[in-house]
Amino acid sequence: MPKKSADKQSTSRNERALALMKVLVERYIRDGQPVGSQTLAKDSGLSLSPATIRNIMADLEDMGLLESPHTSAGRIPTAKGYRMFVDSLLTVKPLNSREVEGIKQQLYNSTDTNLLISQASDMLSSITHLAGLVTIPRRERVLLQHIEFLPLSSRRVLVIMVVNNQEVQNRVIHVDRDLSQSQLQQAANFINAEYAGLELNTVRDRIFASMHDARDAMHKLMQEAMTIADQVLDIQQDEDYVLAGQTNLMNYAEMCDIDKLRQLFEAFNAKRDILHILDQSIHAEGTQIFIGEESGYSVLGDCSVVTAPYKVNDEVIGVLGVIGPTRMPYERVISVVDVTAKLLSAALRLE
């Protein structure tokens, strides 16, 4: 039965090729040098001669998984090669409990959301020695808790809005008629009594609906106040992220090209592209990995991004992750990102 034999053979061949692929990628990630047939022969555990390994590597190169920088160098993984590595070959290395404990310590000690976010970013960066990033959480539901109007100079009113238990937003608005302190108080009282505890969107809509004539200065004030609600919502939507440890990236040989580095840093400053990438993963379930230009941005040519969403009450409210050279230790980074996302979620729930 030649068929069966062929099958078995080709399966085992294939498996062997994959095993070699795995060892090669791991090796390259470890020391950043192109890997040659001899090295691989010694390192793979399989007892194969360099010549055989060369044949196999040639196959892998034909498949587009490997490439050689030049004829007389070893081989390095292509983006496609990394992709198949993380998809099928990777053995994720879970963090040991001491490490998990360390992250917990850091995150559970602080109460302020913003502090928490930036600490999470610091953690990611210091553990992985890559750049860590965490998006500012956005909450779908913004509940009005309390509103306050304070007169500043004439016709300028400071609006203070407490939402979601303890977040305070404030803004100065201009009104086109002088309003007395008691009038302002009255307006605030009305809103607080009538609408506290409702979602900001709802409050806004109801106020607009019930007062659509809006000739009365007081109504106008309230309406204007509610446009702040819009802005608050906008700010929530208009995302931002916290970045830590960019300088870590300077340590990688791949990044020695100062011009590339500059472009990358400029992308960090511009934020738009990075945010777009993070956006892509906000609706994904678990850890996501973008390798090289998969992200669609050429600045990230030699970079990979590993992300995971974090949530409160089963609702995804942000994304965190790291960014580093394609040649990063995925098996570790993935765990770190994953665990940090989970712990940050837990820490936020406590608030």
Partner DNA sequence: GCTTAGCACTCAAATCCCTCGAGTGCTAAT
Partner DNA sequence: ATTAGCACTCGAGGGATTTGAGTGCTAAGC
Q: Which is nearer to DNA, 72 or 91 (CB)?
A: 72
- Per CB under 7 A, does 1 bind DNA? no
Q: Between 167 and 186, how does the x/- string for binding to a copy of itself read (CB under 8 A)? A: -x-x-x--------------
DSSP state letters, 83-129: HHIIIII----PPPHHHHHHHHHHHHT---HHHHHHHHHHHHHHHHT
Six-digit token string for 249: 């990236």
Site for DNA in 17-76 (CB under 7 A): 33-39, 47-52, 54-55, 57-58, 61, 68-75
Contact 231, 171 (CB under 8 A): yes
> Interface residues for a copy of itself in 130-149 (CB under 8 A)?
145-146, 148
Instruction: Give the distance from CA 269 to its chain's centroid.
Output: 16
Q: Which does 227 bind (CB under 5 to 8 A by kind): a copy of itself, DNA, none?
A: none
Minimum CB separation of residue 344 from a copy of itself in Å reads: 20
Q: In the complex, what is the shortest distance from the CB of residue 167 to a copy of itself, in angstroms, rounded to a whole number?
A: 9
Residue 233 CB, nearest approach to DNA (Å): 54
Q: What, of a copy of itself, DNA, none, does residue 217 touch, CB below 5 to 8 Å by kind? A: none
Of residues 210 and 269, the one with the C-beta less far from a copy of itself: 269
Could you tell me which residues are beta bridge partners of residue 214?
none
318 by Cβ neighbours in 10 Å (0-12 / 13-18 / 19+) ranks as: buried
Q: Choosing among DNA, a copy of itself, none, which partner's interface includes residue 58 (Cβ < 5 to 8 Å by kind)?
A: DNA
* Residue 246, contacted partner among DNA, a copy of itself, none, CB below 5-8 A by kind: a copy of itself
Q: Which of 9, 11, 251, 298 binds DNA (CB under 7 A)?
A: 9
The entry of a copy of itself, DNA, none that residue 261 binds, CB within 5 to 8 Å by partner kind: a copy of itself
Per DSSP, the residues of 281-348 read TTTSSS-EEEEGGGGS-GGGTTEEEEEEEEEETTEEEEEEEEEEESSS-HHHHHHHHHHHHHHHHHHH
For 87, the token pair is 């998809």
158 binds, among DNA, a copy of itself, none (CB under 5 to 8 A by kind): a copy of itself
Q: Could you tell me the CA-to-CA distances from 190 to 217, 291, 317 in Å, in that order?
A: 15, 54, 31
**By C-alpha distance, which of 174, 184, 195 is closest to 150?**
184
Among the candidate windows 48-56, 89-97, 232-240, 259-267, which touches a copy of itself by CB under 8 A?
Answer: 259-267
Take residue 265 and report the two structure tokens written for it: 């840093």
Containing H/E element for 148?
Answer: strand 144-151
Site for a copy of itself in 273-312 (CB under 8 A): none
Instruction: Tell me how far CA of residue 208 lies from CA of 54, 156, 214, 221, in angstroms.
Output: 74, 21, 9, 11
Which stretches of the chain bind a copy of itself, using CB under 8 A?
111, 145-146, 148, 150, 152, 158, 160, 162, 165-166, 168, 170, 172, 246-247, 250-251, 256, 258, 261-262, 265-266, 269
Which stretches of the chain bind DNA, using CB under 7 A?
9, 13, 33-39, 47-52, 54-55, 57-58, 61, 68-75
